[in-house]
């Protein structure tokens, strides 16, 4: 793949302008939404009516995977030219028509800037089953990991298993210099081309397995959407590079997590997506706990699937259609593998690690979460963990609290009852937690308006409830610490007497 024409190609894409907004304007809301569901038919109908409009031509070529008249493509890529685009490896000519050799799709980065992501053509373009070295574009997992990245940073960052380069591009845009690695030569080539198209320097792309390309290097931040899919080790089961790391069960995930510490700077952080098995009577989260000894860990299981549902998910992900012999054979192979190894369930979620922290938090958070403000929430939680580590009980009692603006209280009464049977604190942002509390904690949160210290409030509440103040303090302090970590309370001021 010749990168020399990449800047001219970027000029043509920008001039069209080949952006999400422009594509949506040509397709209409409903057809554009269908594209996100891998259905190109509605968009194709609208784009064909646009004739030689550059956005329509480029979308038909690089999004829908259509054969497009060569003259139309030459006009849309006037700076690059058809020969330049061929040298770059992005299209192939077939007589009077042109087809894309890969997908180039508009993307809006988290800072609002327009750009492009290079990947392989997929089911949206009618490609199935996928090739074993398929390079995935932007999907739900990638968007989730983007939301987990720090809002800004300096120093070196590692994108482990870079795929199409989305995470590397986001890390660079947030201020890091980036090393991006992948075992796939094809993924590395796509990441290099994507970096050129988006005008991003200081992204060093290397090929190799896991940490091999960076064996003696340390980073301020490591991000990874590794090939964590649990796949039967059978010659009859396709091994897709973008999702299958070639290990049995969740061994690849264990390798990544246990190896990370050696590559983090002091105070460095990591964010990963992953899957883990419930196996031989041991819950997956407990198995992950054993992988994180010696490093601060916050692991969130977002979803839990039984073996049948998990197998169905990934067989279909490879383009196999239910009811076909190929689909049924693969599903059987997955279920045989799970049964043979004693797997009863599979957890899917997030792993966050911080070198130098003592945090050990393993939880299930299944509710829907707004990814927009997630990065700020996660950054604040890790900072709060650092503060809490140096905050003894006396300092906590002297601290003044402020309830977060997104926290509301819900009280549930049985018909005719004077007192509530259930009191809940509901978090509007963050991880959208709903916490059932007792009257004492509800009173403390309700009175946390940035005025009086925690110790004074607990004393007053103990008097109102006619309970021992010391016993109430012992009960409430750890729960106040929990509310601080989860972002439902914040320290509003320094200690007061």
Nearest to 101 by CA among 114, 115, 82: 82
Residue 496: the pLDDT is: 39
In which residue are the tokens 């999400």 written?
Answer: 20
CA distance 70 to 168: 33
Task: Report the number of secondary-structure helices (H) and strands (E) in the chain.
Answer: 19, 19
Give tens-digit pLDDT for 306-327: 999 999 999 888 777 788 898 8
Q: How many other CB atoms sit within 10 Å of the CB of residue 342?
A: 12
**Would you say 355 and 261 are in contact if contact means Cβ atoms under 8 Å apart?**
yes
Tokens for 297? Answer: 């860990």
Q: Can you tell me whether residue 491 is helix, strand or coil?
A: strand
Give tens-digit pLDDT for 326-365: 889 999 999 999 999 999 999 999 999 999 999 999 999 9
DSSP per-residue letters across 56-94: HHHHHHHTS---EEHHHHHHHTTTTHHHHHHHTTSEEEE
Q: Which residues contact 234 (CB under 8 A, 6 or more apart)?
A: 333, 337
**Would you say 59 and 100 are in contact if contact means Cβ atoms under 8 Å apart?**
no
The model's pTM: 0.93
Residue 494 has pLDDT above 60, yes or no: no
Q: What is the mean pLDDT of residues 16-23?
A: 98
- Share above pLDDT 90 across residues of the chain, in percent, rounded to a whole number: 89
Residue 192's pLDDT band, with cuts at 50, 70 and 90, is very high
Residue 44's alpha-carbon distances to 23, 91, 105, 115, 138, in angstroms, are 11, 19, 15, 22, 20
Q: What is the mean pLDDT of residues 211-217?
A: 96
Residue 277: the pLDDT is: 98
Residue 241's pLDDT band, with cuts at 50, 70 and 90, is confident
Q: What is the mean pLDDT of residues 285-299?
A: 97
State the SS3 of 339-368: HHCCEEEEEEEEEEEECCCCCEEEEECCCC
- The mean of the pLDDT values for the chain is 95
Nearest to 225 by CA among 259, 269, 275: 275
Q: What is the mean pLDDT of residues 20-27?
A: 98
Residue 493: the pLDDT is: 66
- Tell me phi and psi for residue 213, to 5 degrees: -70, -10
CA distance 142 to 434: 27
Q: What is the DSSP letter of 228?
A: B
**Would you say 209 and 183 are in contact if contact means Cβ atoms under 8 Å apart?**
yes
Residue 495 has pLDDT above 70, yes or no: no
Task: Compute and round to an integer the Cα radius of gyration of the chain.
Answer: 26
- Tell me phi and psi for residue 277, to 5 degrees: -100, 140
Domains plus CATH for the chain? 6-101 (no CATH), 123-384 (3.40.50.150), 391-493 (3.90.930)
**Would you say 245 and 227 are in contact if contact means Cβ atoms under 8 Å apart?**
yes
Q: What is the dihedral of CA 416, 422, 428, 433, to 10 degrees?
A: -160
CA distance 185 to 170: 21
Residue 358: the pLDDT is: 96
Least confident of 131-135, 292-296, 394-398: 131-135
**Would you say 354 and 222 are in contact if contact means Cβ atoms under 8 Å apart?**
no
Residue 205 has pLDDT above 90, yes or no: yes
Residue 105: the pLDDT is: 98
Range with the largest mean pLDDT of 18-22, 119-123, 419-423 = 18-22
Give tens-digit pLDDT for 386-417: 999 999 999 999 999 999 999 999 999 999 99
| Runs of H (alpha helix) within 162-269 | 166-173, 185-197, 251-260
Least confident of 81-90, 127-136, 212-221: 127-136
Contacts 24+ apart (CB under 8 A), 128-134: 128/319, 129/238, 129/318, 129/319, 129/320, 129/326, 130/240, 130/318, 130/319, 132/238, 132/239, 132/240, 132/241, 133/184, 133/186, 133/240, 133/241, 134/240, 134/241, 134/242
CA distance 389 to 400: 17
Residue 427 has pLDDT above 80, yes or no: yes
Give tens-digit pLDDT for 156-176: 999 999 999 999 999 999 999
């Amino acid at each position: 793949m010749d990168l020399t024409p990449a800047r001219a190609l970027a000029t043509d894409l920008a001039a069209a302008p080949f952006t999400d907004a422009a594509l949506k304007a040509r397709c209409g809301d409903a057809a554009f939404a269908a594209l996100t569901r891998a259905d190109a038919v509605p968009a194709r109908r609208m784009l064909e009516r646009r004739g030689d409009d550059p956005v329509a031509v480029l979308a038909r070529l690089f999004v829908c995977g259509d054969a497009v008249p060569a003259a139309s493509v030459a006009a849309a890529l006037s700076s690059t030219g058809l020969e330049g685009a061929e040298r770059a490896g992005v299209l192939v000519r077939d007589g009077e028509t042109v087809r894309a050799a890969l997908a180039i799709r508009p993307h809006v980065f988290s800072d609002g800037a327009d750009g492009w992501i290079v990947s392989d053509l997929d089911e949206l373009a009618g490609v199935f089953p996928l090739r074993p070295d398929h390079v995935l574009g932007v999907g739900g997992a990638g968007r989730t990991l983007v939301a987990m990245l720090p809002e800004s940073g300096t120093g070196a960052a590692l994108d482990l298993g870079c795929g199409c380069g989305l995470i590397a591009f986001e890390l660079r845009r947030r201020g890091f210099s980036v090393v991006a690695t992948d075992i796939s030569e094809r993924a590395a080539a796509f990441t290099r081309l994507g970096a050129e198209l988006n005008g991003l320097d200081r992204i060093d792309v290397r090929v190799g397995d896991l940490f091999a390309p960076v064996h003696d290097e340390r980073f301020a931040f490591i991000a990874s959407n590794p090939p964590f899919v649990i796949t039967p080790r059978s010659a009859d089961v396709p091994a897709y590079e973008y999702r299958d790391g070639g290990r049995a069960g969740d061994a690849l995930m264990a390798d990544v997590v246990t190896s990370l510490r050696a590559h983090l700077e002091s105070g460095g952080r990591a964010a990963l997506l992953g899957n883990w098995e419930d196996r031989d009577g041991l819950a997956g989260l407990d198995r992950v706990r054993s992988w994180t000894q010696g490093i601060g860990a916050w692991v969130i299981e977002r979803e839990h699937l039984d073996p049948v549902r998990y197998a169905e998910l990934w067989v279909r992900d490879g383009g196999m259609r239910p009811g076909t012999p190929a689909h049924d054979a693969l599903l059987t192979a997955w279920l045989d593998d799970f049964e043979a190894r004693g797997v009863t369930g599979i957890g899917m979620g997030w792993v966050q690690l911080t070198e130098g922290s003592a945090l050990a938090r393993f939880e299930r958070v299944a509710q829907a979460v707004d990814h927009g403000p997630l990065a700020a929430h996660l950054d604040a939680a890790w900072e709060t963990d650092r503060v809490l580590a140096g905050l003894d009980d006396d300092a906590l009692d002297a601290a003044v609290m402020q309830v977060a603006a997104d926290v509301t209280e819900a009280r549930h009464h049985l018909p005719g009852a004077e007192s509530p049977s259930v009191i809940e604190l509901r978090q509007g942002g963050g991880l959208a937690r709903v916490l059932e509390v007792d009257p004492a904690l509800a009173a403390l949160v309700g009175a946390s308006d940035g005025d009086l210290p925690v110790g004074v409030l607990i004393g007053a509440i103990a008097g109102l409830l006619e309970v021992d103040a010391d016993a109430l303090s012992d009960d409430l302090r750890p729960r106040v610490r929990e509310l601080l970590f989860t972002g439902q309370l914040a320290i509003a001021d320094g200690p007061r007497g």
